[in-house]
Amino acid sequence: MKLLIGNDDGIFALGVRTLANTLAAIGHEVYVVCPDRERSATGHSLTLHDPIRAEVVESIFHPAVKAWSCSGTPSDCIKLALGALLDRPPDFVLSGINQGANLGTDILYSGTVSAAMEGVIEGIPSIAISLTSFTCKEFQPAANFAQKLLDRLGANPLPEPILLNANVPPVPQAEIAGVAITRQGIRRYFDIFQKRVDPRGKTYYWLAGEALQDLEQPEELHLPPEIPTDVQAIQANYITITPLQYNLTSAVGVYALQDWGLSSLKF
């Protein structure tokens, strides 16, 4: 397969190197386009008011991997690759392996998920994959899972391009409980803005905080309640796969607004 890989942790991150090298070593045609520095939590932002530069990167990846370092955001990287760097579209876009979870409401901020979603917008099935720890450096189980998932998707293509958001627990491969197909849960944060003063006496603020273990789960009108959320399943050491789409239309909202009779308003 021809694979395009991006991330938001930057071109020198161990996660993307492990993923790209693992997939190249078994014969996939791998291209890597990543930010030149960490661009976490940038969401789906694009660079519109500055030029975007891309530099070839050599020697840090498997010899068969073609890689570029990009000055833009994670979404810029995928958009640039598809529009300028690659001679033809890839079979899949992958993003990761991210250092840290992308569960529940994390996906709204995630550069990792947004990079993969850029592939879906262009009609290419995509996978975002994250290791749910900021300290664990054992990315190989997640890379091995990505390999198996691609094998399965190659044999059983998805009916339409969607994003599979995968999260891998930070445990030895033998301790992974299995794979769970999940729905998006809720992940709240206890946020604190730390007020500090720089050497010139100017005040600045640093966003700090941590995720809360929130067991409240959203209702999903279109799925049976026995399908676990990604937040629930990861706590039981399952690899979670949540199918995502970029259409954010709320069916509940559409019906509620229709009941208001807003369409009959005259101006």
The domain locations on the chain are 2-184+217-254
Q: CB within 8 A of 36, min separation 6: which ones? A: 10, 11, 55, 69, 70, 71
What is the tens place of the pLDDT at every residue in 203-244? Answer: 998 877 666 655 556 665 577 878 899 999 999 999 999 999
What is the tens place of the pLDDT at every residue in 97-146? Answer: 999 999 998 999 999 999 999 999 999 999 999 999 999 999 999 999 99
What's the pTM? 0.91
Instruction: Please report which confidence band the pLDDT of residue 252 belongs to, taking 50, 70 and 90 as the band edges.
Output: confident
Q: Which residues is 221 bridged to in the sheet?
A: none
Residues of the chain with pLDDT > 70: what percent? 94
- Please report the pLDDT score of residue 214 as a whole number: 53
Residue whose structure tokens are 């700090």: 208
The helix, strand and coil proportions of the chain, stated in percent and rounded to the nearest 5, come to 30, 25, 45
Q: CB within 8 A of 172, min separation 6: which ones? A: 138, 141
Note the CATH architecture for domain 2-184+217-254.
Answer: 3-Layer(aba) Sandwich (3.40)
- Please report the pLDDT score of residue 218 as a whole number: 61
- Please report the pLDDT score of residue 208 as a whole number: 72
